[in-house]
Amino acid sequence: MRLKFLGGAREVTGSSFLLDFGYKILVDCGMRQKEEEKIFLKEEVDAVLLTHAHLDHSGLLPLLIKNNLLKGNVYSTPATKEVASLLLFDAAKIQREDEEKGKKALFDENDIVNLLKVWETYDLNKQFSLGNARVKFLDAGHIIGSSQILIEIEGIKILFTGDIGCGRSLLLNKPDVPKEHIDYLIIESTYGDREHPDKPPEEILYEEITSLGDYSRILIPAFAVGRAQEIIYGLKLKGLDIPVFLDSPLAEKVAETYDYFLPYLKPEIKNKWKKMGEMFSIPHLEYVRSNKRSKELAEDRKKKIVIAASGMLEGGRVMNHLPHILKDENAVLLFIGYQAEGTLGRKILEGERSVWIEDKEIEVKCSIKKIEGFSAHSDRRGLINFINNLPFYPSYIFIVHGEYETQKRFADELRIQKFYPYIPSKEEEIDLKGGAREKIIIDFEKKFQKYGMYEIMLFTGGILKDDNLIRVISKEDLFEIINEEEKRLKHKEKVEIPVDIEKEEIESITEEEFYRELKNMREEKILSKSKLQEFIENASPGIDNLFSWIRITKNKIRFYPDKEKNDMVAEILLRGINSLREIAVSIAEKVLEET
């Protein structure tokens, strides 16, 4: 089985991954920032799974249909289909308008109509089959309809997080955490090196607006899907007495979908706003429907808040307002979302004093502000918590959907936490059976490590399965292999496996060291009595899985049940190589008595 990273690799946009196991599944088919990379897929695929409606995940789907590259169907949640079709028709309209300016359209409305004919939907948590794969959508809490995608093929489980929410949404549920062991985790990293503020987003928005002092008008560029609705709801909660204009017909249509896609909403929201349209109704709110009205408003300097798409100042109604706002010393341009590299939003945010809008150079005179916290993406802490909350650590983590520098920092953080992250590059293809997991079967930790005062890992080391031989290796060798594996994945070269250590040697060292270290830790008050007791209880015979992987960190003991690992344990016991569990328990009991 092979996984190819077609897009969203070391970049934020263009998410697209091809999973090939004889049957070809494309996960997401996103629009790219760079013009020349827009047509990326050359081969036919059997099916497409879509995580969510945002165009950087769905934007090239009509092109797939136009170029006859899809044999089967597109699958998503019902809300994703609904919202994506709104976004795609809107994109086709913009492309048609651009065509008049000499730009070639990638697809038209007809392609979208044909796309919708082959688009099937499944609710969250409903399992379905594609080829010999079993597929399930899990709530991602990112935008309405958003899902993570869990795919199981011949016992191997792969989870694509898609864009994953941070639980800060005012309206949407927290992301679901899968309950099964994930072999390969493909995780987004937009905010992989940053943390969101602790304060609720509506408080931050309210404080920012009330602290602005004397201003004429505020322009908030916002994504039509998700952000615009969250802002309006935030304003509703705070009850500001300023006229608000939602200048995005698309955002208004998306807001309407909230009324009938209740499963994605928080229970308290579902119960509170049962009547259609109530959720987003606030006094002084006008939905700006015509372009004429939009232009009229743009000229009007009266005090108001205008929320308009697109969120990164790349076209849309926001462009009616932008030149007027930029020139107005008393106006405020308030960014609330991520501004991708190369966008006009990023340029202004980074302090460019004059910008080009439709052949006109415009000086930036207004105040430029940015607030954090309205993000639809998990921050660093959220992403790491997500991984830590999985019942079993993933065997391998691929970091996608982020700027490369951010991804490197995120990967470093994961390595510190003893995960095996990898940052694939674009077009890179990885054999999912040839990962580090194949060789490192068991990680029982031979040496003790101090993590602050109380976080302790027991038995660092590894057991290596190599042809028919089982080798016990040191922690250093284990990391060596992981590093070599990474290089191999990068260069696709074969590597030599480091020489093993004599097994007898390991066993005698293990017992002695174990006793000495345990005793030291008790005497130095690193290891508490209850922690030791906990270890003994969990290590008692009958819990075979203990052997495969023990980690005592943050008062949690995690087990790694995995058929292959259990078979290995059985084999080891049979060969009499190691009976560490019983030995470990008896030593621990001895130390407990003595100290």
Rounded to an integer, what distance in angstroms lies between the CA atom of residue 549 and that of residue 443? Answer: 6
Which is nearer to Zn ion, 56 or 314 (by Cβ)? 56
Site string for Zn ion, 436-455 (x = CB under 5 A): --------------------
Which residues ranging from 67 to 106 are in contact with Zn ion (CB under 5 A)?
none
Residues between 550 and 589 that touch Zn ion (CB under 5 A): none
Nearest to Zn ion of 166, 325 (CB atom):
166
Backbone phi, psi, residue 345, to 5°: -55, -45
From the centroid of its chain, how far is CA 25? 19
Q: Of 42-50, 55-63, 132-140, 269-277, which segment contacts Zn ion by CB under 5 A?
A: 55-63
CA trace torsion 276, 277, 283, 286 (10° rounding): -150
CA 422/CA 397 separation, integer angstroms: 6
Among 28, 56, 111, 428, binds Zn ion (CB under 5 A): 56
Task: Indicate the residue among 163 and 379 with the shorter CB distance to Zn ion.
Answer: 163
Q: How far is the CB of 422 from Zn ion (least distance, A)?
A: 20
Cα atoms in the 13 Å half-sphere on the side-chain side of 76: 32
If DSSP codes are grouped into helix, strand and coil, which group holds residue 84?
helix
CB of 66 to Zn ion, least distance (A): 23
Q: Which segment (59-67, 111-119, 160-168, 169-177) binds Zn ion by CB under 5 A? A: 160-168
Q: Please, what is the minimum distance in Å from the beta carbon of residue 336 to Zn ion?
A: 15
| Residue 1-40 contact track with Zn ion, rule CB under 5 A, x = bound | ----------------------------------------
- Indicate whether 377 belongs to the interface with Zn ion (CB under 5 A): no
Q: Shortest distance, CB of residue 560 to Zn ion, whole angstroms?
A: 31
- In the bound state with Zn ion, the residue whose beta carbon lies nearer, of 144 and 325, is 144
Question: How many whole angstroms separate alpha carbon 126 and alpha carbon 594?
Answer: 54
Q: Which tokens hold the place of 217?
A: 């008008």
Contact stretch for Zn ion (CB under 5 A) within 157-165, 228-236, 413-421, 493-501: 157-165
Q: How many residues lie near Zn ion (CB under 5 A)? A: 3
CA dist 245 and 237 (Å) reads 16
The answer to whether residues 46 and 130 touch, using CB atoms and an 8 Å cutoff, is yes
User: Closer CB to Zn ion, residue 32 or residue 522?
Assistant: 32
- Please state, as a whole number, how many other Cβ atoms lie within 10 Å of the Cβ of residue 576: 7
Which is nearer to Zn ion, 167 or 434 (by Cβ)?
A: 167
User: Structure tokens of 514?
Assistant: 């174990």
Q: How far apart are CA 459 and CA 444, in angstroms?
A: 5
Residue 145 vs 461, nearer CB to Zn ion: 145
Q: Which stretch binds Zn ion (CB under 5 A): 163-171, 486-494, 541-549, 552-560?
A: 163-171
CB of 133 to Zn ion, least distance (A): 23
Neighbours of 110 (CB within 10 A): 12
Please report whether residue 230 would count as binding Zn ion according to CB under 5 A: no
The side-by-side arrangement of strands in the sheet containing 469-473 is: 440-442, 462-466, 469-473
In the set 82, 111, 163, 193, which binds Zn ion (CB under 5 A)? 163
Distance CA 189, CA 187 (A): 7
Nearest to 219 by CA among 190, 197, 248, 191: 248
Is 205 within 8 Å of 231 (Cβ atoms)?
Answer: yes
Q: Is 54 in the site for Zn ion (CB under 5 A)?
A: yes
The residues of the shown chain that bind Zn ion, judged by CB under 5 A, are: 54, 56, 163
